[in-house]
Every structure is written in structure tokens, then in C-alpha cells.
Amino acid sequence: MFRRDQDKVKCDNCGYVLVKPYPKDKFCPKCGKFLKNLFEYGFEEEGASKPQPKEFETKNETASSKFKGKVRVKDREDYFNLEDDKIEFKDGNDYIKLLGITSVDRTPLFCSNQKYVYLLELTNNLDYIATSILGGDLDKMLLTSDRSETEKCQFFEKDDIIYLVYGMFPDKKGKWILEQMAKHYSELVRNKNVDNLSKIEKYEIERSFEGRVRFILKEFITLQEVFTDQEIPYVENKVRLDYVGLSSMSIGVISLLLGADKLNFDDLSGYEGEELKEMQESLLTAKIEAIAANTLGNTGAYPRWIAVKLGFQNYRFLTFKRYQNDYFLSILSEGNLKKIEKAEETLDPYINHVIDEPFTGNLKPFNRLKGTIKDLLQKNREFL
């Protein structure tokens, strides 16, 4: 309480005595505490009544109706949280779950949503096999869940930095986002070694890039009607099979290399002839099984296909098809991806004879199957 002696008021908090003119902000000049009773006294002294709460009135019009034609009301899609499970566009048909960046030397640089940070390491694993054995650039991957739901990862590499967008969207939209990411991130790390950034540098770059990501996505929203959902047609009208493998629980039971002339294997000097081919088959099988197991273990989905770009509209594909009892057919091919189903349908009747039961370690039926498939594909390994 304040004590008043004529025009003097004493602060009970610190004992400081105030005289007219009292402070307008009603704060004690000594202790800085708000003087509630002085505030009330001030109204009484000036003959003013205390402010009364305004009676609630129901509004019959909104800002958008009141100023119709004068202001633009933002659509809902202008607002998003990068940590949401997904950022939806175009009534939910297109969405993004992750924008990520990693260096080719496996340094994680940016992850918009930590729920999917494992995709950065997976990207590096895919990039390794794409640029080594497969001899191209990692381009796309389609993931298929147990519920047959599909989602896409699309990649873009520039200056030894790999950019990733994960979700569901047409290729042209994904390419635009990746190119914008590369443009803005390159500006932030110009003349810097991204594999040797200090913690402070990395933090500042990440925070700055997060703001740019929001700008990119807002621009993406405004361009929704400009983009076409039509995919670019393949130049080739056929697909050629270069490798066929069958596995169970990540154990390869069949590996058949049909053409190794366009693949880049590690140094296998000292091997030649049939022994060299067996080593190449074993090496390729091991890498393919590692990719499949790593993807399934991290994402809960298997890669239906992984696309590696060799040149303009020239692609190599690593495809997977799931069968009963956890058997997987893996095919390495080149050409038109849409033709791969015809190749799989050709192999299905032969494969279905040996997958009635889980693999028990008996390779005899699979060795016979390998011979049958080898004879079949030596006659023709191209499918129209």
C-alpha cells in the first residue's frame, strides 16, 4: 500500500517517497516496481473513472469481407512447419517430407526434418554404388511400403554436394526445388570447405539456409499451376537386363551377371575368365543386398527402383520386386523403366516354383533356376 501525506506518496517496496508530478508510467524511479495503488490514485486525483471492460460484441463481418477487393487474404498453404510429418501442396496430392543436403564425403549439412535424417546416410550409400559400379549419377528412387504406398526421393549433385528432396511430386517439380536449393546453398558456402566447417559456421549456415528453404517453398506454391505433372518420356522403347539376382532375408541365392562391359568394378586384377565373372557377380550382389537391407531397415520400405543417370535421357535402373516368404528379385537394367514389368512377368513363372517356403540353406533348386534363367536370357535379354 502507498502512504499519502498531502501530495507525498511512499513506495512500500523500497520506501522511496514520491511527490508531484508523479511518474506517468507509474513505475517507482528507485526500485523500478510497478506502483499499482499509485496508478489507481492517479485516476482518483484527476477525477477520472477507472476504465471499465468493454462489453463483448459479436462481429457480423470478417476482415476479408470488410475489405473485399482491397486486400489479398493469404491461402492456407502459405503457412507450413518444416518439422511437420509432411508439407502438403495442391490439395494433398503433392507433398514434401524432407529437404536434405550431404557432401559426397558423407558430411551431413542440412536436414529440414530430423525424423528422416537417416536418408542422408542412405543417400551417400546410394551415391557410392551409382558413381562407382553403375558409372553414373544418382537421380531418383521410388520407395514402396508393405501397404503398397509409394514415395519418391530425388537427388541432385553439384560441386561435390548432394541435394535431396523426399515426398511425392512429379519429376519436374522435384528438379526445380533441388536446383533452387543448390543455388541458395552454394551462395552460403562459397569459398568454404563444407567438410571442415566449425560448429559455429555450420550452425549459422543452417539457420540462414532454413530461411531460404521457406522462401523456396513459398515460391514453389505460387508456381504450382505453372508446373506440368507430365513426366518426360523415355528415349528408349526397350529395356536391357545386365544382372538378375534373387535373395531371401538379405542372403543372395542367385546372382547372374549377363553383361559387365559397361559396369565399373573395383580392381580385380589377378582374376580372369569364369573366375573374374564370379568375383564380379559376388561383388555386385553384396552391394545390391546391402542397399536393399539398409533401405528396408531404415525406412520400413523397400526401393522399388533406383535410377542412375548416364546421360541425357539415358538411365540405368536397379529394381526390386518382393515375393512371398521375403524373397526379393533384383534386376540391373538400362533403357526404359516402364518395360521392366514385362521382364519381371517373364521371370515370375520360373521364380514361383522355388519360393513356396522360406530359404533353408538348400541351394540346389536355386542353382537349377539360375541355369534356366541364364539359358532364357542368353537368347534375349531385351524387352519391348
Q: Are residues 204 and 285 in the same domain?
A: no
**Averaged pLDDT for residues 63-87:** 58
pLDDT of residue 72: 44
The CATH number covering residue 246 comes to 3.30.450.60
Residue 56 resides in a domain: no
Asked if 209 and 278 sit in the same domain, the reply is no
244 shares its domain with 216 = no
Helix (H, G, I), strand (E, B) or coil at 33: coil
CB 157 within 8 A of CB 104: yes
Give yes or no: residues 38 and 84 share one domain.
Answer: no
Question: What's the CATH code of the domain at 157?
Answer: 3.30.450.70
| pLDDT higher at 55 or 227 | 227
How confident is the model at residue 20, as a pLDDT? Answer: 75
pLDDT at 22: 76
pLDDT of residue 201: 96
Amino acid 26 reads K
| Confidence (pLDDT) at 371 | 96
**Residues 234-248, mean pLDDT to the nearest whole number:** 91
**Domain assignment of residue 71, yes or no:** no
pLDDT tens per residue across span 293-337: 889 888 889 999 999 999 888 899 999 999 999 999 999 999 999
Query: Does position 53 have pLDDT exceeding 60, yes or no?
Result: no
Residue whose C-alpha is closest to residue 224's, from 89, 51, 315? 89
Say if 227 falls within a structural domain: no
Q: Are residues 118 and 190 in the same domain?
A: yes
How is residue 160 annotated by DSSP?
A: T
Residue 66 lies in a domain: no
pLDDT average, residue stretch 341-358 = 95
User: Residue 70 has what pLDDT?
Assistant: 47
Question: Does the pLDDT at position 44 exceed 60?
Answer: no
175 and 282 housed in the same domain: no
Number of domains in the chain: 3
| pLDDT one-digit tens code per residue, 129-178 | 999 999 999 999 999 988 878 999 999 999 999 999 999 998 989 999 99
Q: Are residues 204 and 243 in the same domain?
A: no
Q: Are residues 120 and 13 in the same domain?
A: no
Convert 296-334 to b/e letters by CB count within 10 Å (16 or more is b): beebebbbbbbbbbeeeeebbbbbbbeeeeebbbbbbbb
DSSP single-letter state for residue 142? E
- With cell 508530478, the residue in question is 21
| Same domain? 212 vs 168 | yes
Last residue of a domain, one of 168, 191, 222: 222
Where do runs of H (alpha helix) occur along the chain?
Answer: 36-45, 63-66, 118-131, 171-188, 199-222, 273-299, 340-351, 364-379
Answer yes or no: do 244 and 218 share one domain.
Answer: no
260 in any annotated domain: yes
Size of the chain in residues: 384
Instruction: List, for residues 217-234, the tens digit of each pLDDT value.
Output: 988 888 776 766 666 667
Question: Which tops the pLDDT comparison, 43 or 99?
Answer: 99
Per-residue model confidence (pLDDT) at position 228: 63
Provide the residue range defining the domain that includes 305: 239-383
51 found inside a domain:
no
The pLDDT of residue 199 is above 60:
yes
Residue 206 lies in a domain: yes
Task: Note whether residue 319 is domain-resident.
Answer: yes
pLDDT, average across residues 67-89: 62
Q: Identify the pLDDT of residue 8.
A: 76
Q: How large a percentage of the chain has pLDDT more than 90?
A: 55
pLDDT at 299: 86
Between these two residues, 78 and 13, which has the higher pLDDT value?
A: 13
Instruction: Check: CB of residue 307 under 8 Å from CB of residue 337.
Output: yes
Taking CB atoms within 8 Å and a gap of at least 24, the contacts of 341-350 are: 342/383, 342/384, 343/239, 343/241, 343/383, 344/319, 346/376, 346/383, 347/244, 347/373, 347/376, 350/376
Q: What percent of the chain has pLDDT over 70?
A: 82
Q: Are residues 208 and 97 in the same domain?
A: yes
**Over 70: is that where the pLDDT of 74 sits?**
no
On whether both 275 and 178 belong to a single domain, the answer is: no
pLDDT, average across residues 327-349: 96
223-232, 251-260, 370-379, range with the lowest pLDDT: 223-232
The SS3 call for residue 288 is: helix
Which pairs with CB-CB distance under 8 Å and at least 24 residues apart come from 67-75? 75/221
